[in-house]
Homo-oligomer: A and B are copies of this chain.
Amino acid sequence: MKTVGIVVEYNPLHNGHTYHFTEAKRQTASDAVVAVMSGHFLQRGEPAIVNKWARAKMALHMGVDLVLEIPFIYATQNAEQFAFGSIATLHATGIVDEVCFGSESGDIAWIEKLAAILAEEPLAFQETLLKGLAQGRSYPAAYGEAIQALLPSLATDTLQGHVTEPNNILGLNYCLALHRLQSPMRPATIKRQKAGYHQETVTDQSIASATALRKLILEHANNGIHAIRPYVPQSTFEILQAEEAAGRFPLTWERFYPYLQHQLLTRWPEELATIHEMNEGIEHRILQALPRSTSFYHLMETVKTKRYTWARLQRLFLYSMLNLTRSKIAVINAKQGPAYIRVLGFNRTGKRLLKRMKETSTLPVITRVAKDKHPMLTLDVQAGALYALGLPESLRQKEMQREYWQTPLHFDHI
C-alpha cells in the first residue's frame, strides 16, 4: 500500500486543503494518506480556532486515513524545528513512502537542490543569516537574503522573490529534515493555488486561505461559520457548527490574555529571561507595554518590531504561559527527535496502517496518555489543559481531562 505523508494544521480545513490532499494522493499515485497535524497550538504560536479533535475529524471526513499529532515542542517552533518534528514523526512510522507539501513555487527540483547545499550548513550562509538578523531583519527576510547571496546561480525566475514565501521555506526545511534523518521518504510538492498563506481577503469563489477564513469567522460575530460556507467542505462546516453549539468554537488568543497578563505581571524580569527564546532583553519591552495594553492585540501591536515578528512574539507568549524555560527545553531534548507517535484518528485503511506500524515504527505509538509520561508528552498534556482554560468556564473541567479520556477517533464511529 503506497502511502504519502502530509504536514498540516487545518485551522480550519478548507477547499484549498482538499485540493492539496487530492493532488498529493493523485500525483504520488498513493493508496493511503497519513497526516501529521499540529495539536491545540500552531506554528505561528496561536491557539487553533478549534480543538485538535475537531480538526482531526475534518481530516478524516476529507479522506485522510491516519491523523498523527505533532508534539507541542515541534508544532509551535520556527519553521526549521516544526519541519524537523513533523518529518521525523512521519519518518518514524516506517510506512510513509513520499512526503508531499504545498509550495508557492511548485518546483521540487530547486527546493531539493537548495536543501542539499544547505544540509552542509555552509559557513557563508550562516554568516550572512546572522548578519541580517543582527541588522534587525526578520528571520524569513534574513533567511531569504542569505540564500540569495549564497546561490546567485540559482536565482532563476523560479527562485526570484519565491524563496521567502512561507511555504517554500517550510518545504525547504522539510527537505532539510529528510537529509538530516537520511530518510528514504521522497519529497514531492504541489504548487499552491491562488490564496497566499497570509492573504487576508477572499478573492476566489471557492478557495480562500485559512487566515482569510478565520478573519471572516471572527468578523461576522453571530454568523461566522455561515460566511465561510463557500470555502470549506460540508463536513468541515458541520463540525464547526457542532463545536460552536457546544461552546468550543471559535477560540482566539484574546481568551488567553488574562492568563498571559497574570503570567507576565507576577514575574521578575530575571524569571522571564529564563523562558525559551526570551532574548535580548525583550522581557523589559514586554513588561513595559503590559500594564497599558488593553487586549492581546494591543499588546502585540505595542511590542512587535521588525525583528520580533508577530509569529515570534506569539510563540514567546505561548512559551511564557507554559513556563517553557530553557532548562525544560534541555530536559525535553527535542533535538533528538520525537519520543512517541500520538494517534488522533484513523479510518479502516488507517487501522491497517497502524497494524503495519507495530512492525515498522521506531517509536512507541500512543493511543492514550498513560501516567508514566515523557516530558515531551507532559508538555502536550499541559498544552491541552491550557487550551481548555480558554473555553467558557462550564466546559473547562471536562476538556481539561480530555487529554486522558479521549481515545483516537475511529471514522466508522464518528
> Hey, which bits of chain A sit against chain B, CB under 8 A?
258-259, 261-263, 265-268, 271, 291-294, 321-323, 328, 375, 378, 382, 385-386, 389, 393, 396-397, 400-401, 404
Contact = CB atoms under 8 A, between A and B. Distances in A.
A258 B378 contact: no
Contacts of A378: 268
Contact of A389 (B262, B321, B400): B262
Contacts of A397: 291-294
Contact of A258 (B263, B291, B375, B393): B393
Contacts of A259: 258-259, 262
A323 B400 contact: no
A216 to B, nearest CB: 25
Contacts of A322: 266
Contacts of A267: 323, 382
Given A258-B259, A268-B328, A268-B375, 5 more contacts: A258-B396, A262-B321, A265-B389, A291-B400, A293-B397
Main secondary structure of the interface of A (DSSP, over half): helix
A400 B262 contact: no
A263 B266 CA distance: 11
Contacts of A396: 258, 261
A266 B382 contact: yes
A263 B322 CA distance: 9
A254 to B, nearest CB: 10
A266 B328 CA distance: 12
Residue of A293, A385, A386 with most partner-chain B CB within 10 A = A385
Contacts of A294: 397
**Max chain B Cβ within 10 angstroms of own Cβ: one of A291, A292, A322, A375:** A291
Contacts of A271: 323
Contacts of A404: 291
Contacts of A400: 261, 265, 291
B323 A265 contact: no
A114 to B, nearest CB: 39
